[in-house]
């Protein structure tokens, strides 16, 4: 639907529609896409909104796990690939997005999750990475911000998959509960 709005009424109208949506709805919309079919919304949202959206995105994992569809690592890698690997022409914007994600509450954990258990010794910095691979995503992040890349490596090597996944889900669910609570606060105010 957002792509239809953008094509018929322009990007500014779509940005206006996105800005009226709650962050949970934005996360749900972007989850419908991946690097093979990216959403234009990911490129029109401001970096801070993307960071906030990734803070709540893990609250959708449980329903995927019940269906046996994907792992948390796959889900995060798909989302990050959509954000960082689908447009090669805007490193400045991607750097702003990476910084916003890193500065969000659980950003570094989110960025690190896909690479827990990854053998970093296998990365060949001389050869071009296979499109869509873990290496391509890591090298893209490294090219955007070396210090975030190093923090991802450290967290991925020293982190525990189950613990990080649990922290991300817990934080996302507490944000989600806060969103619902703030949406219903005005229901109890006198007219």
| Closest listed residue to residue 77, CA positions, set 61, 66, 88, 89 | 61
Instruction: Specify whether the CB–CB gap between 137 and 77 falls below 8 A.
Output: yes
Per residue in 51-73, pLDDT (tens digit) is: 888 888 888 777 666 666 568 89
Torsion of CA 47, 108, 35, 26, to 10 degrees: -50
Q: What is the DSSP letter of 129?
A: P
pLDDT at 1: 59
Query: What distances in angstroms separate CA 119 from CA 5, 39, 139, 191, one per listed residue?
Result: 43, 30, 14, 60
Query: What is residue 70's three-state secondary structure?
Result: coil
The span from the CA of 43 to the CA of 14, in Å, is 11
Contacts of 96 (CB under 8 A, 6+ apart): 47
Q: Between 100 and 15, name the one with better pLDDT.
A: 100
Phi, psi of 126 (to 5 degrees): -90, -35
Give domain limits for the chain: 2-181
Residue 180: which pLDDT band, with cuts at 50, 70 and 90?
very low
HEC readout, 151-166: HHHHHHHHCCHHHHHH
- The model's pTM is 0.78
Q: What is the per-residue pLDDT across 89-131, written as a single tens digit (0 to 9) for each?
A: 789 989 999 999 999 889 999 999 999 999 988 888 788 888 8
């Amino acid at each position: 639907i957002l792509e239809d709005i953008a094509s018929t009424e322009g990007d500014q109208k779509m940005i206006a529609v996105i800005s009226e949506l709650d962050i949970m709805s934005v996360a749900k919309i972007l989850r419908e896409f991946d690097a093979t079919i990216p959403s234009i919304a990911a490129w029109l949202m401001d970096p801070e909104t993307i960071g906030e959206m990734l803070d709540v995105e893990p609250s959708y994992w449980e329903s995927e796990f019940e269906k046996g569809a994907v792992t948390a690592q796959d889900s995060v890698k798909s989302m990050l690939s959509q954000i960082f690997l689908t447009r090669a022409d805007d490193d400045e914007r991607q750097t702003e997005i990476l910084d916003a994600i890193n500065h969000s509450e659980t950003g570094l954990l989110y960025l690190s999750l896909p690479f827990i258990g990854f053998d970093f010794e296998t990365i060949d910095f001389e050869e071009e990475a296979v499109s869509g691979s873990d290496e391509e995503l890591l090298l893209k992040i490294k090219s955007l911000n070396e210090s975030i890349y190093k923090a991802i490596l450290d967290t991925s090597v020293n982190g525990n998959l189950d613990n990080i996944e649990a922290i991300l889900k817990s934080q996302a669910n507490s944000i989600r509960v806060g969103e619902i609570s703030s949406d219903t606060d005005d229901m109890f105010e006198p007219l």
